[in-house]
Amino acid sequence: MNQDECMSFLTPWFERIYAQFPMAVSLYNDNYPSRVRAEHDDSLAAHCVHRHVVTGFQREFDNDRRFHFLKPKGLHVLNVHDRIVARFKKVDAEGRHQNADTEQQRLFDRQMPIPGLPEEALRVTFGYEPDPAFSKCERVIVACPSGKSIKWAGQIVEDDGEYGWVDLTQPKLVAS
């Protein structure tokens, strides 16, 4: 599945996908005392937001028969129609995530089979990029990893209640 096919397939759910990320960042900033947040490093802040994202997705999609939450060996993913399997991550402006280097993470990012996940499903990251102060969600991105790089990335955008997407894929430099 290429970028256009993936993003077109996800379009009916953009609003519901998008909403989970700013809501989780806002929940973290509005409900954790500033004294507590001041003691959090970037990793702990991202972990707290991640937990709120996962819970938000569960609330939003748990009763929708087209979506299934899978947890093979602790990898928490959202399975959409057995066509897309998505992880939830804090990402940079290009859609790249940083996390512990595990065999399972490497298999996911290389689009390889993982026991317990639909084999043919495209593996993507549903990600959010916070502002430098971690005070708001700058953008929501759907990225397709390819090993340690990103094959493509699209930003979900909202304009007057209408949701769409724009391509964020960085051109690949080629040696001459």
131-159 in b/e form (b: 16+ CB < 10 A) is: eeebeebebbbbbbbeeeebbbbbbbeee
37 three-state secondary structure: helix
- Count of structural domains within the chain: 1
Q: What is the H or E stretch that residue 130 is in?
A: strand 122-130
Structural domain boundaries, residue 60? 3-167
Cα gap 143→125, rounded to integer Å: 5
In a domain, 172, yes or no: no
Q: Is 85 exposed, middle or buried (0-12, 13-18, 19+ CB in 10 A)?
A: buried
> Which burial class, exposed, middle or buried, applies to 84 when counting CB atoms under 10 A from its CB (0-12, 13-18, 19+)?
buried
- Residue 104 included in any domain: yes
Q: pLDDT tens digits, the chain, 176 residues: what are they?
A: 999 999 999 999 999 999 999 999 999 999 999 999 999 998 899 999 999 999 999 999 999 989 999 988 878 899 999 999 999 999 988 888 877 778 888 888 999 999 999 999 999 999 999 999 889 999 999 999 988 889 999 999 999 989 999 999 877 655 55
Q: Is residue 173 part of a domain?
A: no
Residue 174: predicted pLDDT: 54
Residue 174 placed within a domain: no
